[in-house]
Amino acid sequence: MHNSTADTSHTAGKCNETLSTQPLSSQFSLGVLVLLALLMVLLALVTILGNVLVIFAFILDRNLRHRSNYYFLNLAISDFAVGAFCMPLYIPYALTGTWRLGRALCKLWLVLDYLLCAASVFNIVLISYDRFLSVTEAVSYRAQQGITSNPVIKMVAIWVFAFLLYCPAILFWEHGAGHSVVAVDQCYTEFFNNWYFLLFASTLEFFVPLLLVTYFNVHIFHNIQRRQRHGSTQDCERPRRSSSLSWRFCLLPRPGTSTPSEAEDSVSSLTRSWRPAVMANCPPPTQTSSRALKKNSSVSFRSGTGSKLQQDKKIAKSLAIIVCVFAICWAPYSLLMIIRGACQGKCIHNSLYEITFWLLWINSSLNPFLYPLCHMRFRMAFMKILCPKKFATLRSHNTPSF
């Protein structure tokens, strides 16, 4: 038994479940429909090509195959599937308002649509968390760079959680309810009017990820500001310890230069009179050389910490872009989905909901440019693939001659 309202509705999968009674073909002229079709096809091509470029860069460039970049690969795979499968099947349905590919393919499309959209969001959270650890726990993060099992487990967990969030409900909701509310020529989920389920699912899929990514971003900014405030103190303390250790090592005899007794006497005499007796290559500890050691150590330490700080600032800026773009693309749909469920689809116009739906897929189109392009290694890999001659020229100019 079908719901009479749903029988005449124009609805889609995760990204278009409204109760409009008119398809786009009856709302716009032929010229507008052709323009919309071209824009949809163009968006699908950009999504496919952009994410294929990320995947190829990861495969061809060994320098990209380390821990954090596996998350970019996972995100690119999910976004590529959105452009290669979800968008092409939806375009004729959006334009005509009729699903002509059968119930089995409809179910498959719904499962993949929900799964891929959720996986894309969770991958964004995982990337943000990885960047968060690289800034706030740099020592332990670097110690685990060679461990690949941990990233693989996290990536698999993302897909499992994304599947469990929506797919069982898509596949078995009508069996629990005892009947289907979806017309034969339509393709949308059985829970399109269940406000409680939509609120629960959207909270896990959008609101919680948004809070997590925002938290990571804010915490990184606070960490950078704190390090900038205390940088001068660290610069004064660290070189002093380094210079002391350097002189202590310098005054010790080298193996093979003297017997143990001679070495012990030499160290004792050096301690008393501050005159080097054993190590010929160590300069005498005059005030001038001591100042030079302190100065060189201070410059080296400041250079290292400054480079790390600049790198972390770039990470913070890229995460800020992530938060803004993710919120812009997902907030309208998530809010309208809850409102539409509460008012049984009678208070949201189809055109408005259609726009918010496409914003989700636009996020999959932007991801290849938002994330990898924030990193120099990915930019160089892209140049190597797209402009091999320019890459070879740049590489030859940057290669030092001996």
The candidate with the shortest Cα–Cα distance to 371, out of 128, 209, 136, is 128
The candidate with the shortest Cα–Cα distance to 218, out of 89, 302, 322, is 322
The pLDDT value recorded for residue 51 is: 94
**What are the tens digits of pLDDT across the range 252-269?**
443 444 443 433 343 344
User: Phi, psi at residue 176, to the nearest 5°?
Assistant: -70, -35
Q: How far lies 254's CA from each of 260, 285, 286, in Å?
A: 11, 17, 21
Q: What is the DSSP letter of 13?
A: S
| Structural domains of the chain, with CATH | 4-227+344-392 (1.20.1070.10)
CA distance 190 to 198: 11
Question: What is the pTM (predicted TM-score) of this model?
Answer: 0.73
Spans in the chain with pLDDT lower than 70: 1-23, 25-27, 145-149, 231-308, 311, 345, 372-374, 397-402
**What are the tens digits of pLDDT across the range 273-315?**
444 444 444 455 555 555 554 555 454 445 555 566 776 777 7
The pLDDT value recorded for residue 275 is: 42
Q: Show the DSSP H helices in 252-386 as ranges.
A: 260-273, 287-342, 350-370, 376-386
- Residue 207: exposure state from Cβ atoms within 10 A (0-12, 13-18, ≥19): middle
CA distance 268 to 260: 12
Cβ partners under 8 Å of residue 111, min gap 6:
166, 167, 170, 171
Q: How far lies 317's CA from each of 96, 222, 228, 374, in Å?
A: 42, 13, 16, 9
**What are the tens digits of pLDDT across the range 176-221?**
878 888 888 889 888 887 888 988 999 999 999 999 999 998 888 8
User: Phi, psi at residue 20, to the nearest 5°?
Assistant: -70, 145
The pLDDT value recorded for residue 286 is: 54
Q: What is the DSSP letter of 20?
A: B
Q: What is the DSSP letter of 97?
A: S
Distance between first and last Cα of the chain? 81
CA distance 304 to 172: 57
> C-alpha 268: how far from its chain's center?
59
For residues 114 and 149, the answer to whether their CB atoms sit within 8 Å is: no
Q: What is the DSSP letter of 303?
A: H
For residues 120 and 307, the answer to whether their CB atoms sit within 8 Å is: no
